[in-house]
């Protein structure tokens, strides 16, 4: 996650103090101009992404202005690095953009601080139409019974593997539905056959831990508390210690490298492991960075534990004096067919299923087609969405990495590291 924990904590604390008057004044925040008004309206909108996303988003916003000439946009975007530090600073000064992009690492935090507008009334009135969204997808934007963000892009967990190296060694490919034990057996055999570690060790990966928990009828969070115990974490760390002992994974230093690198340098791309634990929609980006052919399946275990995760959301600033127009813009971006063709799959699979179907027919990239096919296949068995992660989720993620790496390096036993992680995680979500 971008920025230092200290900077983020300071910004969050400052925001909480400065937003207190806003939280006390209700949802009004000033009269919002009517959507069909001819009065000039300038909306500010902030998102993260690269040049390609910026171009597509600007094209989509231009379509809205074409249909509503009185509405223009003050557009700001930047790379993911530092995005949430800047958003925290803007909200701390009551200067947040009318519309901003956010993800599930921070949605609860911003909703609990009354930064995000509750969109429930707009949804119920039809002004925000989610009727063509998978139910579990839009519900993954609900925090404390309030719709805090509109899902833009569906995604789920994906195990990406190197088809080329496995085929060259006459090794079977991993499949959806393998048990965790069977997968580790497969990875150990693949290591022997290819001389490349069969899998990146995911003990530090919160996505993999989360799926594994759901397969044990538990969860990452339960209400305002953790949904797991130190005993659960110990079992998870023990599972992967056994895998490392069998040479199914790389050595600790290489595992750490895989934990720390960005998507373009995952071990499945650099040739240091045959599989990496990512999101399904990241397959195309991985494929761009290797000449080997890659494939993707669900994480091990029962695939029903996976869910329609919002790749990201758009939220409306609760203090905006242009709320109605801001909501109409989000509704337009999510449901207009012409916009759907422009935005494509840049933010994940379109949330509107009708638009998704029309967009998928125009996809030509082989890796993107594969990721879409896998997502759609898994979508038939998705379980209900878990609750959106609690405030402190980003700290929990970093603490899991710290604990797992201490076990990988032999500095702590699984039980010791598990106790330390649970203590740190409880502290993180209670602040």
Per-domain boundaries in the chain? 5-154+310-379, 157-306+392-430
**Strand spans (E) along 163-299:** 221-222, 225-226, 275-279, 294-297
Beta strand segments in 142-300, E: 142-143, 146-147, 150-151, 154-155, 157-162, 221-222, 225-226, 275-279, 294-297
Report how far residue 43's alpha carbon sits from residue 73's, in angstroms, rounded to the nearest whole number.
Answer: 5
Taking alpha carbons only, the member of 221, 255, 215, 252 closest to residue 235 is 215
By residue count, the chain amounts to 431
CA–CA gap between residue 5 and residue 60 (Å, rounded): 34
What's the CATH code, domain 157-306+392-430? Answer: 3.40.190.10
pTM for the predicted model, two decimal places: 0.86
Containing 42, the helix (H) or strand (E) segment is strand 41-48
Q: Which of 141, 173, 140, 176 is nearest to 158 (CA)?
A: 176
Backbone φ and ψ for 66, nearest 5 degrees, come out as: -60, -40
CA pair distance 84, 8, nearest whole angstrom: 8
Q: What is the CATH number of domain 5-154+310-379?
A: 3.40.190.10
Q: Which two tokens stand for residue 423?
A: 């203590």
Q: Alpha helices, DSSP H only, in 283-409?
A: 283-287, 323-335, 337-343, 353-360, 366-379, 393-408
CATH topology identical between 5-154+310-379 and 157-306+392-430: yes
At residue 214, the 3 state secondary structure works out as: helix
Each residue's pLDDT, cut to its tens digit, for the chain (431 residues) gives 334 443 444 344 434 433 433 433 334 444 677 777 789 999 999 999 989 899 999 999 999 999 999 999 999 999 888 999 999 999 999 899 999 999 999 999 999 999 999 999 999 999 999 999 999 999 999 999 999 999 999 999 999 999 999 999 999 999 999 999 999 999 999 999 999 999 999 999 999 999 999 999 999 999 999 999 999 999 999 999 999 999 999 999 999 999 987 788 899 999 999 999 999 989 998 999 999 999 999 999 999 999 999 999 999 999 999 999 999 999 999 999 999 999 998 898 999 999 999 988 888 889 988 988 999 899 999 989 999 999 999 899 999 999 999 999 999 999 999 999 999 999 999 98
């Amino acid at each position: 996650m971008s920025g230092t924990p200290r900077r983020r904590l300071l910004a969050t604390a400052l925001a909480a103090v400065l937003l207190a008057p806003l939280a006390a004044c209700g949802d009004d925040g000033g009269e919002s101009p009517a959507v069909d008004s001819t009065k000039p309206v300038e909306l500010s909108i902030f998102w993260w992404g690269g040049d390609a996303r910026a171009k597509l988003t600007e094209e989509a916003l231009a379509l809205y202005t074409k249909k509503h000439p009185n509405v223009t946009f003050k557009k700001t975007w930047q790379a993911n690095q530092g995005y949430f530090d800047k958003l925290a600073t803007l909200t701390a000064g009551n200067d947040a953009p009318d519309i901003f992009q956010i993800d599930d690492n921070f949605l609860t935090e911003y909703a609990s601080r009354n930064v995000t507008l509750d969109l429930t009334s707009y949804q119920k009135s039809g002004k925000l139409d989610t009727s063509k969204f998978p139910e579990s997808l839009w519900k993954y934007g609900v925090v404390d019974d309030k719709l805090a963000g509109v899902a833009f892009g569906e995604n789920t967990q994906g195990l990406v593997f190197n088809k080329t190296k496995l085929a060259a060694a006459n090794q079977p490919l991993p499949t959806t539905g393998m048990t965790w034990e069977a997968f580790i057996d497969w990875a150990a055999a693949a290591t022997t056959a290819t001389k490349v570690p069969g899998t990146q060790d995911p003990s530090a990966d919160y996505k993999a831990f989360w799926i594994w928990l759901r397969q044990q009828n538990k969860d990452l969070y339960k209400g305002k508390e953790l949904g797991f115990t130190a005993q659960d974490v110990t079992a998870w760390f023990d599972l992967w210690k056994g895998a490392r002992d069998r040479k199914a994974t790389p050595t600790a230093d290489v595992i750490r490298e895989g934990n720390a690198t960005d998507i373009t340098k995952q071990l499945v791309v650099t040739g240091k492991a045959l599989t990496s634990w990512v999101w399904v929609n990241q397959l195309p980006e991985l494929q761009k960075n290797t000449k080997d052919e890659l494939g993707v399946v669900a994480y091990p275990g029962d695939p029903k534990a996976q869910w329609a995760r919002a790749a990201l959301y758009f939220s409306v600033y609760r203090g905006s004096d242009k709320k109605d127009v801001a909501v109409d813009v989000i509704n337009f971006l999510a449901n207009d067919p012409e916009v759907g063709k422009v935005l494509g799959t840049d933010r994940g699979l379109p949330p509107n299923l009708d638009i998704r179907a029309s967009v998928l027919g125009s996809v030509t990239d082989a890796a993107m087609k594969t990721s879409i096919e896998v997502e759609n296949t898994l979508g038939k068995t998705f379980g209900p969405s878990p609750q959106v992660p609690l405030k402190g989720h980003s700290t929990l993620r970093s603490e899991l990495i710290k604990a797992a790496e201490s076990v990988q390096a032999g500095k702590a036993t699984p039980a010791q590291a598990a106790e330390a992680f649970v203590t740190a995680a409880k502290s993180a979500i209670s602040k």
